[in-house]
Amino acid sequence: KGPDPDMVTIAERMATIKHKILVLSGKGGVGKSTFSAQLSFALAELDNQVGLLDIDICGPSIPKMMGLEGQDIHQSNLGWSPVYVESNLGVMSIGFMLPHPDEAVIWRGPRKNGLIKQFLKDVDWGELDYLVVDAPPGTSDEHISIVQFLQATGIDGAIIVTTPQQVSLIDVRKEISFCKKVGIQVLGVVENMSGLSQPVSDMRFVKLNETGDQSDVTEWALSYIRSNAPELLHLVSCSEVFDSSGGGAAKMCMEMGVPFLGKVPMDPNLCRAAEEGRSCFADQKCAVSAPALRKIIQNL
């Protein structure tokens, strides 16, 4: 029996891609797609040729986070063309193929695997420095497929995104053990939503009354600060949100013997950049989250 022709085609496509990075999470909603999107923006801003492949088939949020909602994929004689944010940043997602963004994708494993295989076989990435793969949360069929299809051509490793709470970290341990079982290097773990950071000038202030109602006093509070202590407007408030008394991701990484890449705070301006499909690095307002992300990316 000769080699599987699909695997041969995938190997040919992947031969022009220098680095392949998987972005994983144990749970949904921890910021995996946000990280994948911002990692891709950052790598492209460093003059790399970057591809971002979204295989989160049931919840593709990458088109929106890259500012590409409503775009279509074009086909050429070389295959499916990615949708480009910039000439050096291309994106592929099932989100581009759905007739309506509200459409639910209810597919069983084999069909999902078929699409992942097709993405790897048919997308014409051209020469890439980096292919970032945004995987669905957990360890499901899609993970086994992508690993199986890509492993023969080499995967640099996986970055795992988590929040600091135990409930998320428990699932990250499973994700790490999945990587170990299938022989994928864990490049490291990112602790996202690690506290809440906000410039004082962006904060909203409320007064609580006895009935539990709130009245907004932001204007009064900010004008008081502006008149009496304007230097406070340049401070950033940092609050713990989730319970990290268990030591958070850093401690878990020590126990599991994998690198800890760093913390990214919860930042309403980062959320806004993601919602609007922008890079946070050009947004002066992402004063804490953008440098934190940049440091993590530099340490990779």
The nearest distance, CB 175 to ligand ADP, in angstroms, is 12
Fill in the per-residue mask, 51 to 80: x = in contact with ligand ADP (CB under 6 A), - = not in contact. ----------x-------------------
- Which one of residues 13, 20, 32, 278 is an interface residue with ligand ADP (CB under 6 A)? 32
Query: Is 270 an interacting residue with respect to ligand ADP (CB under 6 A)?
Result: yes
CA distance 50 to 47: 9
Applying CB under 6 A, the span of 5-13, 74-82, 115-123, 263-271 interacting with ligand ADP comes to 263-271
The nearest distance, CB 272 to ligand ADP, in angstroms, is 8
User: Any idea what the Cα angle at residue 90 is, between residues 87 and 95, rounded to 5°?
Assistant: 140
Contact call for residues 228 and 156 (beta carbons, < 8 A) = no
Question: Smallest Cα–Cα separation from 118: which of 96, 145, 95, 98?
Answer: 145
- Which one of residues 49, 168, 192, 279 is an interface residue with ligand ADP (CB under 6 A)? 192
| Residue 31, annotated as binding a ligand | yes
Q: Is 93 helix (H, G, I), strand (E, B) or coil?
A: strand
Query: Is 25 an interacting residue with respect to ligand ADP (CB under 6 A)?
Result: yes
CB of 25 or CB of 145, closer to ligand ADP:
25
Non-local CB neighbours of 140 within 8 Å, separated by 6+ positions: 109
The nearest distance, CB 124 to ligand ADP, in angstroms, is 26
* Count of helix runs (H) and strand runs (E) in the chain: 10, 13
Question: Smallest Cα–Cα separation from 234: which of 258, 261, 264, 202?
Answer: 202
The nearest distance, CB 265 to ligand ADP, in angstroms, is 6
Query: Is 277 an interacting residue with respect to ligand ADP (CB under 6 A)?
Result: no
From residue 259, alpha-carbon distances to 56, 155, 160, 191, 252 in Å are 25, 17, 10, 12, 10
Question: Smallest Cα–Cα separation from 32: which of 58, 70, 65, 68?
Answer: 65
| Residue 29, annotated as binding a ligand | yes
Residues 93-152 that bind ligand ADP (CB under 6 A): none
Query: Is 193 an interacting residue with respect to ligand ADP (CB under 6 A)?
Result: yes
Instruction: Determine the residue type at 131.
Output: L
The nearest distance, CB 300 to ligand ADP, in angstroms, is 18
**Where does this chain bind ligand ADP (CB under 6 A)?**
25, 28-34, 61, 192-193, 264, 266-267, 270-271, 274, 289
Binding-site residues from annotation for ATP: 26-33
